[in-house]
Structure 1
Amino acid sequence: MSSNPVTITSYPSGQREQVREMLKEQGIEFILAQFVDIHGAPKVKQVPVDCFDSLVDDGAGFAGAAVWGMGLGPESHDLMARTDIDTYVQLPWIPNVAIANCDLYVKNEIWPYCPRNNLKRMLGVMAEKGLTLNGGFEPEHFLVVQDENGIKPWDPLNLDTLAKPCYDFKGMAQSIDYLQDIIRYGNQMGFGIYQSDHEDANGQYEINFDWSDAVKAADRLVLFRLMSGQIAQKYGAIATFLAKPFEDKTGSGAHLHFHVADAQSGKNLFPLKDGQADWKGLGLSKTAIHYIGGLLKHCRAITAVSSPQINCYRRIQSGEFVYSSNSGYTWTPSFASYGDNNRTQLYRCPSPNRFEDRSPSAMVNPYLLMAAQIAAGLDGIENEIDPGEAICGKNIWNLSVSQRREMGLTLLPQNLMEAVEALEEDEVVKNGLGTIADEFIRLKKAEWGEFMQHVTPWEIKRTLTML
């Protein structure tokens, strides 16, 4: 596996003083030093603002063995979370608190099990080839309430009851204050939120915000999920990013829009240049097409990262009988394809400026996903992988399994173990995850083993008296 170094960042004193002054002007008393574990869950320590210099230079100390996937035991030296000075931001709903993303170190060395460090490593690999990755996530989530009988959509006025509730005003009206808080606070933190809507399931919402570089895009998704959970509590709800909380409703994704750019100029390399032939009829450069070729070649291994929990595979449904939601659609790809502005694709091309990956679950660890995709996409560019003809104007969901296979479409893994086994065999994607790959595979196999020990009510109901 590649061991490309991650550069240790040192900050000019002027930049540090500028951030210190900002914190003082905002009345910040405490700083949350945040990083994510292998699952993408935020971990924090709260530190008095007087310790600002120590957080930047030394970091907040953590027992690494207490965190999933850090590759450390109870005998290991401290995991030091050093704040990235460019990421300090005030939390508008707790105005005396700022939060900052951290990069992880052990014994003063950059720690390779840190998902953020690993993404920076892969961006470094990209930069060596004159390229970089830009993107942005579209997080879907549910607002739910929970009692002794389980969970149900948050619906205090009993207005969110339609079978096809997407964009419905009545369903959304009762959540207007929640959504406005999300937009207001998110934009105060620099998200550039430009849309929010009621999604395809009762109690489900989506927020759209600006593009950025890959690291900032991942940082932003993590902070968005943290914020949503905090604000939902104000309204007596739980914000959940569980991929498929309800059997009869659409699942939640985190669609990723992305393009490859020139590392120096920042110019988007996906659109055709003047005079170039339109190879696949989508107005895309060969760089874009080959990048997608790499993603499609490695899509089964990538699925283990884009859908990292057992529940995520409730979204990825296939078969001769295609299960759907109350609204009529799952909105989730089960076969690997690419093509035009068509939501039945895995990789949808809304315009020559970008692709949309429709597979990621709302539970995705964004740092790991983007690192894995960089590895696969670079393989496509370097080896000029041809993804085949673009599929345009066809509803892939309406095709039979045999028709899709005749078109050369690859079936995505239908459960976590199948995806993990595909990852285990894919050296390119494992290289994208670096040291994290083996730990990820080990943990996911353990999750599958634990899951398989449980007997579900469905099994009892279906087979108790079958024979």
Structure 2
Amino acid sequence: MQSDAQAIHDWLKEHKISEVECLVPDMTGNARGKFIPAQQFLSQGDPKLPESIMIQTVTGEYCDDHWDFVEPTDADMILKPDLSTLRVVPWAREPTAQIIHDCYKMNGERHPLSTRNVLRHILDLYAAEGLKPVVAPEVEFYLVARNTDPDYELMPPKGRSGRRESARLSYSIDAVAEFEDFVEDMYDYADEQKLQVDTLIHENGAAQMEINFLHGDALSLADQVFIFKRTVRETAHKYGIYATFMAKPMQREPGSAMHIHQSVVRADTGENIFAEADGTHTPAFLSYIAGLQRYTPELISLYAPNVNSYRRLAPDISAPINLNWGMDNRTTAFRVPWGPPAATRIENRFPGADANPYLALAATLASGYLGMKQGLTPTQPHQGTANEDDVEVARTLEEGLRNLHNTPELQDMIGDLFLRAYAAVKLDEFEEFNRVISSWEREHLLLQV
């Protein structure tokens, strides 16, 4: 720890940093924390935050039961900086650093309400087996025109041609070029922060983009997605537009996902345990898929954490509605892309772009881990269009949360306290949303029921 502290000190001095953003990912996956002058950051020891910030709703409220999950005194958490996350803030006017912190209780234990700690615990279980997950997220988002009145529907922004997109332009090079300045700055910001972004494509929606990350360590990739979302929003603000990671921001456009490619390798040799040398799928591969099929219904609210999330999980080709898997079949929930044995992997297509990356990764890796430990057997790979089959997952946040406490082994892995707090926070959000009377109800029910 002392060597890490010295490394942070030297880095801040080398980059002439005047301010430090101390970041903590909250339950929604957004940044909480403090701005601290660099000199105070170096001299005052570990910062602290009240633990109650970990159980705030997306609107900043507290659920009725919040004192069941934190100390009635609203005790502090100790924040420990993670050296591997130290980065510049490229959009800041003054030389500014950002560093993600881990949360600890005052007795030195990892804080159970920290989403980063939830993922750390899952990775520790893999490490105890001599295994290491390898993941590669694909994150979709929309660019939209500035919208300061929530009563108005969103619309695509004007590109350099002065026109808005009005047609399906999947993989269009020219459509991306409409926002060339935004894209170039986004890549520059990502490069300055050492984010391992790979390809950019135009997705199916109007002004909808997708960024693929290079495969790597799960905690590092969760950190990168967390930082990437901030980066894209800041870049968009620079050009007078918004970037949104809502799962379904526009009625007539497809939703935005965070597909997670995943495999498991032996920690000592790097050998992929999903395939034999001749490409044959191993029992571990099949059991991992079976684990995803078995536990996704209980964990769907970690992939789809908001009331809006379930608008994306609809019977069309863009998002899964059941638990089928298949070879290179994008209509299934769990797709196995073609590739050489060393690259054998599973793509979980359930998570939305609005998911907390730490929780989405924890959920998918926990499911696969349990599948392997229990030797579960999957269904046969699906042939044809899976979206023609029955819906097998929750269609509302409330339904998804009701399934969250069904499995003791998941409570042990993710943490009973965390799951109860998560459910309480998200149910509070659902009830607040449920009190809103929509324009559809006024239009169709006002004079006709």
Q: May I ask how many residue pairs the two structures share in their alignment? A: 427
2:158 to 144, 152, 155: 155
1:359 to 350, 361, 365: 350
Secondary structure at 1:298 match in 2: helix
Whole-angstrom CA distance in 1 between matches of 2:336 and 2:431? 38
User: 2:156 touches 2:165 (CA, 8 Å); kept in 1?
Assistant: no
Whole-angstrom CA distance in 2 between matches of 1:126 and 1:455? 46
Whole-angstrom CA distance in 1 between matches of 2:8 and 2:425? 38
User: 1:160 touches 1:172 (CA, 8 Å); kept in 2?
Assistant: no
1:348 to 335, 356, 367: 335
User: 1:65 touches 1:74 (CA, 8 Å); kept in 2?
Assistant: no
Whole-angstrom CA distance in 1 between matches of 2:43 and 2:22? 11
2:89 is matched with which residue?
91
* Offset of residue 73 of structure 1: 5.1
Matches within 5 A, 1:236-275: 236-274=240-278
1:112 is matched with which residue?
112
* Offset of residue 37 of structure 1: 1.1
1:146 is matched with which residue?
147
> Quick one: which amino acid aligns to residue 152 of structure 1?
M
Q: 1:386-433 deviations in whole A, cap 9, x for unaligned?
A: 1121124x1223x2xxxx25xxxx612111111111112233333332
Matches within 5 A, 1:261-300: 261-274=265-278, 283-300=280-297
Whole-angstrom CA distance in 2 between matches of 1:72 and 1:85? 28
Whole-angstrom CA distance in 1 between matches of 2:164 and 2:199? 20
Q: 1:233-277 deviations in whole A, cap 9, x for unaligned?
A: 100011111111100001111111111121333332222245xxx
Whole-angstrom CA distance in 2 between matches of 1:462 and 1:432? 46
Whole-angstrom CA distance in 2 between matches of 1:430 and 1:171? 45
Secondary structure at 1:152 match in 2: coil
Whole-angstrom CA distance in 1 between matches of 2:103 and 2:411? 21
User: 1:195 touches 1:207 (CA, 8 Å); kept in 2?
Assistant: yes
Secondary structure at 1:151 match in 2: coil
* Offset of residue 20 of structure 1: 2.7
Secondary structure at 2:147 match in 1: strand
* Offset of residue 140 of structure 1: 0.8
Whole-angstrom CA distance in 2 between matches of 1:188 and 1:294? 38
User: 2:55 touches 2:421 (CA, 8 Å); kept in 1?
Assistant: no
Matches within 5 A, 1:310-321: 310-318=307-315
Which moved further from structure 2: 104-113 or 46-55?
46-55
> Quick one: which amino acid aligns to residue 430 of structure 1?
Q
1:385 counterpart = 2:366: no
1:102 is matched with which residue?
101
> Quick one: which amino acid aligns to residue 87 of structure 2?
V
Whole-angstrom CA distance in 2 between matches of 1:363 and 1:222? 11
Secondary structure at 1:310 match in 2: coil
1:309 counterpart = 2:296: no
2:73 is matched with which residue?
75
Structure 2 gaps, min length 5 = 57-65
1:427 to 399, 408, 415: 408
* Offset of residue 54 of structure 1: 5.4
1:462 is matched with which residue?
444
Q: 1:270-327 deviations in whole A, cap 9, x for unaligned?
A: 22245xxx7xxxx422111111111111111121100000100000013xxx5xxxxx
Secondary structure at 1:134 match in 2: strand
2:224 is matched with which residue?
220
User: 1:159 touches 1:171 (CA, 8 Å); kept in 2?
Assistant: no
2:33 is matched with which residue?
44
User: 1:336 touches 1:346 (CA, 8 Å); kept in 2?
Assistant: yes
Secondary structure at 2:234 match in 1: helix
- TM-score normalised per structure 1: 0.86
Structure 1 gaps, min length 5 = 1-10, 323-328
Whole-angstrom CA distance in 2 between matches of 1:267 and 1:33? 37
Whole-angstrom CA distance in 2 between matches of 1:159 and 1:170? 13
Secondary structure at 1:269 match in 2: coil
2:431 is matched with which residue?
449
Q: Percent identity?
A: 27
Whole-angstrom CA distance in 1 between matches of 2:140 and 2:271? 29
> Quick one: which amino acid aligns to residue 221 of structure 1?
V
Q: Supply the RMSD in Å over aligned alpha carbons.
A: 2.1
User: 1:300 touches 1:419 (CA, 8 Å); kept in 2?
Assistant: yes
1:203 counterpart = 2:207: yes
1:31 counterpart = 2:20: yes
* Offset of residue 44 of structure 1: 2.3
* Offset of residue 65 of structure 1: 2.2
Whole-angstrom CA distance in 2 between matches of 1:257 and 1:151? 30
